[in-house]
């Protein structure tokens, strides 16, 4: 016999059918939102991957430029070594010439002294003969005329005295001329020595300049090689970041999240609280790398913060990522709804886990990753980076 259906059982069946239908409807309604979030997150990650790949290309190009600069520097160093070798050869030749010149000056001075001594002795002999002739005077001449000698002998003796006198005069003149010539030659040699000495001094100064340039060039080559090594390490790091980002994309393709805020993030532009106090170390946009000189694009802000400084959520949101990430240290990403996100990287400690809901100005992390005195902050919309300075409230520091 069939048991009659109790009214209470009928009511329960209707209730369960209604609940099932409602749950199915909610699931159907939420599916587009979840799919949209996943697509948006995937787009954001792919955008970051493209940026990392662009950095890889730029770094590879910079490495090639450094190598070319190194080759050019080595060529200049070779040229400097060649000039130094030539300068050393010229210095050697100049030193040898100066040494020979000094010997020649010494010989000239010795000859001049010798001729001066001979001239002095000759002058003394001439003076003695002249005094003797003067003393004898007419008496000597009369003695010759009234002597027993024949006229021929007298004439011969007179001529002999005249020849001696002329010879003495000529000898004195010749020695005097020789001494004057030697003195003039010595002066010319001294002038030449001065010129040689000045040239030698200039060549020594040139050698010092070349040696200094050589040291500078060698230091430049060492610096280029250090930079090249660091760039190659940077390239390796960028490749690892690219691989890690690819893995994150693969993971995001399997996940979907949604957050519906109580308000509009877009309406708060220019009024949002800063995540912490502290000056800016690096702003948004393209900057020149302080060490390598290459152009580096920054998608966010580098904010100075001493280790332990609390970092706060700029607005309410849902944690969609909270874990260490290659190249970004400990990283936390908040979903603020309407495809707006804020990112906090290189932080020391994460206070929330993926899936947690946080309120505005709640502490989500602390600064001091690996002892650093700064952290990294971004704001994104639909995967594209926004300039945080245009969204945060103005401040004087």
pLDDT at position 1 is 46
pLDDT-derived band at 374, boundaries 50, 70, 90: very high
The more confident residue out of 139 and 365 is 365
pLDDT at position 143 is 52
The more confident residue out of 289 and 121 is 121
Instruction: Show the tokens assigned to 79.
Output: 């040229």
pLDDT of 354 over the 80 cut: yes
> 219-245 pLDDT, tens per residue?
877 777 777 777 677 667 766 765 665
| CATH class, range 259-397 | mainly beta
pLDDT at position 37 is 54
What is the arithmetic mean of pLDDT over 368-379? Answer: 94
Instruction: Show the tokens assigned to 272.
Output: 């949002």
Residue 33: C-alpha distances to residues 37, 148, 258, 338, 389 (Å): 6, 163, 7, 10, 30
CATH of domain 32-258: 1.10.287
Residue matched to tokens 């948006």: 40
Q: Do the first three CATH levels of 32-258 and 259-397 match, i.e. the same topology?
A: no
pLDDT-derived band at 127, boundaries 50, 70, 90: low
Average pLDDT score, the chain: 75
Residue 41: C-alpha distances to residues 6, 32, 218 (Å): 52, 14, 50
Q: Cα–Cα distance between 376 and 360 in angstroms, integer? A: 19
The more confident residue out of 205 and 15 is 205
What's the chain's Rg over C-alpha atoms?
A: 53
Residue 148 exposure: Cα atoms within 13 Å on the Cβ side? 0
* CA angle (112 as vertex; 110, 118 as ends), nearest 5: 105
Q: Cα–Cα distance between 284 and 298 in angstroms, integer? A: 5
- List the chain domain ranges: 32-258, 259-397
pLDDT of 187 over the 70 cut: yes
What is the arithmetic mean of pLDDT over 1-14? Answer: 46
């Amino acid at each position: 016999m069939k048991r009659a259906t109790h009214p209470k059982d009928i009511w329960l069946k209707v209730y369960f059918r209604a609940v099932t239908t409602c749950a199915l409807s909610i699931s159907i309604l939420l599916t587009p939102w979840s799919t949209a979030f996943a697509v948006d997150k995937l787009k954001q990650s792919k955008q970051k991957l493209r940026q990392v790949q662009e950095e890889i290309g730029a770094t590879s190009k910079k490495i090639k430029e450094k190598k070319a600069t190194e080759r050019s520097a080595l060529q200049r160093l070779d040229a400097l070594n060649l000039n130094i070798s030539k300068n050393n050869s010229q210095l050697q030749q100049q030193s040898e010439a100066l040494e020979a010149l000094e010997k020649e000056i010494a010989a000239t001075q010795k000859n001049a002294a010798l001729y001066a001594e001979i001239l002095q002795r000759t002058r003394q002999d001439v003076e003695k003969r002249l005094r003797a002739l003067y003393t004898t005077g007419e008496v000597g001449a009369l003695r010759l005329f009234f002597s027993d000698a024949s006229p021929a002998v007298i004439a011969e003796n007179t001529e002999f005295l005249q020849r001696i006198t002329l010879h003495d005069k000529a000898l004195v003149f010749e020695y005097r001329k020789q001494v004057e010539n030697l003195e003039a030659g010595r002066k010319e040699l001294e002038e030449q020595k001065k010129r040689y000495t000045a040239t030698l001094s200039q060549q020594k100064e040139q050698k010092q300049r070349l040696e200094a340039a050589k040291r500078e060039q060698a230091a430049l080559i060492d610096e280029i090689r250090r930079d090249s090594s660091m760039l190659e390490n940077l390239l390796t790091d960028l490749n690892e970041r690219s691989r890690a980002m690819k893995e994150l994309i693969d993971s995001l393709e399997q996940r979907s999240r949604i957050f519906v805020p109580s308000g509009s993030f877009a309406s708060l532009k220019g009024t949002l609280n800063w995540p912490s106090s502290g000056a800016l170390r690096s702003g948004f946009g393209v900057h020149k790398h302080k060490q390598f000189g290459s152009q580096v694009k920054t998608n966010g802000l580098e904010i100075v913060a001493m280790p332990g400084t609390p970092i706060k959520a700029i607005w309410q949101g849902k944690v969609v990522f909270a874990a260490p990430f290659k190249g970004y240290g400990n990283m936390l990403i908040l979903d603020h709804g309407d495809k707006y996100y804020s990112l906090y990287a290189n932080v020391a400690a994460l206070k929330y886990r993926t899936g947690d809901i946080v309120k505005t100005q709640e502490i989500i992390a602390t600064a001091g990753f690996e002892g650093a005195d700064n952290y990294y902050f971004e704001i994104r919309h639909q995967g594209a980076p926004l300039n945080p300075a245009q969204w945060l409230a103005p401040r004087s520091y």
